[in-house]
Amino acid sequence: MFNFIRNKRITVTGGAGFLGTYLVQQLKTAGVENIFIPKIEDYDLVNMNDVRRMYEDSRPDIVIHLAALVGGIGANQQNPGRFFYDNLMMGVQLIDVGRQLGLGKFVALGTICCYPKFTPVPFKEEDLWKGYPEETNAPYGLAKKMLLVQSQAYRQQYNFNSIFLMPVNLYGPGDNFDPQSSHVIPALIKKCAEAAKMGKDEIVIWGTGKATREFFYVDDCAEAIVLATEKYNKSDPVNIGASFEISIKDLVHKIAELTGFSGKIIWDSSKPDGQPRRCLDTSRAFHEFGFKAKTNFDQGLKKTIDWYLSANK
């Protein structure tokens, strides 16, 4: 099935991270033997000299670019300049050096934050330019979106084969649970589990709970990336996700129940909700490379919580 990628040398930036760990395992399952993971301690991909050295050391046929500086609403609000610069420079330099060296294929991971704040639901790829992103994460979203512009421009001028995938919010075992930088599901799991353990009678959650989100199990995302790397060769952006939405309020109640927290939930409406709604149209991914998410949300959430509880006994 994976005839294109099987004998290729593949470099996975961010390969030691949350999604990267799952992707590397999926690549191995697909028969890829030559995988290079540039560690952050060895290569600063914001630095052009390190980007060039990474290419020299790994000599890839394909680069899958997962490395990113990411975080939740709070981290984005505190670091808008750094989130813009680091994410832009990593991607722009990796694509340009790859183009100079005749790289066979570049797979760029974008983000759901590329979309305008008030995108009609479900989000369709053709709506990507119909407005400005949600303010709290716009610098990050726009930095990533520039890789789509670069991808399309380089295909037009240099016939450079790069693709641009936009995953929705990821979750799963092994996620980042650091309260300074974690996304919504791990942040809520940690908050509810700790409150239950300490016998607290209430927790405070940012926002109103009315916003909706779509969540995508990390192993499903890894599968989508492998399929796209194997089969997709156009610069049109592609949504990858699970095609459903849940309100933050319902999500909090599910997590509270699964972690054993039975106290009061207080909503701090002085804090931002972020984008009002998120849910993707994923028909292009299915049509172009046959991807459809497999993992039921309740099952995936339970696996994630069970992993966290066993890791934090």
**Hey, which residues does 217 pair with through a beta bridge?**
171
3-state DSSP call for residue 235? coil
Region of 290 on the Ramachandran plot (φ > 0 left; ψ -120 to 50 alpha; else beta): left
Burial class (CB in 10 A: 0-12, 13-18, 19+), 110: buried
C-alpha torsion sign, points 123, 124, 130, 134: positive
Beta-strand relationship, 162-167 and 169-171:
unpaired
The yes-or-no answer on residue 171 being catalytic is no
Transcribe 39-71 into DSSP letters.
-TTT--TTSHHHHHHHHHHH--SEEEE------
Beta-strand relationship, 9-13 and 215-217:
unpaired
Encoding tokens for residue 55? 């290419």
Q: Among residues 296, 274, 118, which one has the least CA distance to residue 211?
A: 274
22, 55, 140, 217: the active-site residue? 140
d(CA 75, CA 243): 26
Q: Among residues 120, 129, 136, which one has the least CA distance to residue 83?
A: 136
Give the active site residues. 140
